[in-house]
Amino acid sequence: MSEEFPHPDRDSIPEAVAEPHRRHSLQLVWIVPIVAALIGASLAVKSYLSRGPVITISFHSGEGIEAGKTKIKYKDVQIGEVKSVVLGKDRSHVVVSAEMTKEAKDLLVKDTLFWVERPRISGGNISGLSTLVGGSYIGMAAGTSKDRQHAFTGRETPVVLVDGPGRQYLLHSRDLGSLDISSPIYYRRIKVGQVVGYDLDKDGKGVTVKAFVRSPYDSFVTANSVFWQESGIDLSLDVSGLKLNTQSVASMLLGGISFQSPEDAPAQPAPPNSTFTLAVNRAEALKRPERVVEKYLLVFGESVRGLALGAPVDLLGVTVGEVTKINLELDPQRKRFSMPVEVQFYPERLRAHYRHKAQGLPADHRVLLDELVAHGFRAQLRNANLLTGQMYVALSFFPDAPKAKIDWTESPPQFPTVPGSLERLQGKIMRIVDKIEKIPFEAVAGDARKTLKSLDATLKSADRLVKQIDSSVVPEARGVLSDARRTLGEARQTLAGASNVMSSDAPVQQDLRETLREVARAAQSLRALADYLERHPESLIRGKKEKE
């Protein structure tokens, strides 16, 4: 059975309308990836824009440097990180690649310095202790150059960063001594700065030390200032005796540098990076610079044991030079050795001493030396210290010295010498020995034996005479002495009796005193009677009245 559906009304059926074709349509599912891509791109752009320059640093060793861990710091602020550590092409060093921050771009100039910071104990300071926990890092000291640079050579020693105003100076020395980074600098025993670096000179003949002096102490460094090393205890024993010079405990243990400026020199401060000479000690630094230095050769025929380089050339207690070279020469013809000693002579010192009495003296010191040599002016070796045996060269007059003259055409000219005092003493002793050897000891001994025999006979005669005196003269003398002793005893008794009589409590003296008192009383009565009779003469007839 089939069911028939009614036919719908055509008017009731809506007319179909064709929709236009959409040329671009965005599906919702693509929105999320697109947003993620935009965010990633923005982060990449931001990362690229914030990225700093990449530099390379060469070190002798990669000890303590790790890629991705080791930081680069400037004043304890991280400004970069090591990205890779590789060996150099010649395997003599390592090349460290590091990515710096954008802020560090201006710090990467030609004289910027890098070093590996590790724990160090030097110059009285302990640095890098933080690396014991956090690991080593690369330190940086910003340069002042205007030339940018991205490849550097790292230092093996750290650079001391000095803060605050001050000036840096360059000190040249023969060697570094006990100095190190951060070694103190003293002025009048006050710490005013420190050593911030040092380098070996390019010719290898010295060391340049960089010294930083803080403000306001840098104003005391003038062009005439002198610097010297303080190597703890300066103990020297030379021809001047024993000298001991000490500084602070820190400098005694670790060394340091001191400087001093002459008080009579201009006080204008020296400009930064001025160059000075770093002396070994204070005595060498305070030596007056000699403008005129002449060399002379002194030839001695005696031993120069005890004569050292730097020994003074002394003129009546004034040092006018020093020994600079000691040689040994053999004269093949005479088969004798001689000791040529080269000395430096400072004629300005000699002129300074006779400056105020220069009237009548020649202006040329060579003419003056010729005149002095003509009057016996010679050089002589003398012992300066009997304990150490050190010697020096003395200039003095020896009127009996053989005639000599300086040949000014030689270089250096030879100055005449005379044997030293010890040599002269030895000569005298040898002459005495020669004279002693000439004495005829056998003949003298024969005469001595004869003399001894005669002396023996004389002694025997004297012995007999003494015995005779003892047997005949002595008894008589003994009797005389006995009589004299008795006489002296009697005299002593007599004197004792006289002493008893003369004593204050002797009976004779008491009786004599009583008698004298009676006589005095009698004399007083007679004086009263005489006075009465003078006033009353009639009493001789009438007698004395009763009332009176």
Summarize pLDDT for 306-334 with one digit per residue, the tens. 888 888 888 888 888 889 999 888 888 88
Report how far residue 26's alpha carbon sits from residue 30's, in angstroms, rounded to the nearest whole number: 7
pTM reported for the whole predicted model: 0.47
Q: What pLDDT does 416 receive?
A: 92
Which secondary structure element, helix H or strand E, spans residue 547, and what is its range? none
Cis peptide before 412 (omega within 30 of 0): yes
Highest mean pLDDT, choosing among 103-107, 485-489, 504-508:
103-107
Q: How far is CA 279 from CA 27, 175, 217, 232, 521, in A?
A: 87, 10, 20, 15, 112
What's the pLDDT tens digit per position in 131-152?
666 778 888 888 888 888 889 9
Report how far residue 545's alpha carbon sits from residue 189's, in angstroms, rounded to the nearest whole number: 120
| Beta pairing, strands 233-238 & 241-246 | antiparallel
State the CB neighbour count (10 A cutoff) for residue 152: 21
- Copy the structure tokens of residue 477: 């003398």
Q: What pLDDT does 251 receive?
A: 59
| Beta pairing, strands 312-315 & 71-74 | unpaired
What's the pLDDT tens digit per position in 251-303?
566 678 888 887 766 678 888 889 998 888 777 777 766 677 889 999 988 88
**Which pLDDT band holds residue 117 (cuts at 50, 70, 90)?**
confident
Average pLDDT score over the chain: 79
Backbone angles phi, psi at 311, to 5 degrees: -60, 140
**Which pLDDT band holds residue 474 (cuts at 50, 70, 90)?**
low
Residue among 316, 310, 305 nearest 239 (CA): 310
Q: Does the pLDDT at position 163 exceed 80?
A: no
**Which pLDDT band holds residue 1 (cuts at 50, 70, 90)?**
very low
Cis peptide before 312 (omega within 30 of 0): no
| Beta pairing, strands 184-187 & 256-260 | parallel
Q: What pLDDT does 504 receive?
A: 63
DSSP-based three-state secondary structure for 134 = helix
Asked if 343 and 290 touch (Cβ cutoff 8 Å), the reply is no
Give the total residue count for the chain: 548
**What own/partner pairs with CB < 8 Å and gap ≥ 24 does 484-488 have?**
none
Q: Does the pLDDT at position 352 exceed 70?
A: no
Q: What pLDDT does 248 receive?
A: 59
What's the pLDDT tens digit per position in 182-200?
788 888 888 888 888 888 8
Q: How far is CA 512 from CA 90, 150, 382, 524, 526, in A?
A: 142, 141, 92, 18, 21
Report how far residue 522's alpha carbon sits from residue 502's, in angstroms, rounded to the nearest whole number: 27
Q: Does the pLDDT at position 124 exceed 60?
A: no
Looking from the CA of 219 toward its CB, the CA atoms found within 13 Å total 3
Burial label, 191 (beta-carbon count in 10 A; 0-12, 13-18, 19+): middle
Q: Which residues contact 43 (CB under 8 A, 6 or more apart)?
A: none
What percent of the chain is predicted at pLDDT more than 90? 5
Report how far residue 51's alpha carbon sits from residue 294's, in angstroms, rounded to the nearest whole number: 67
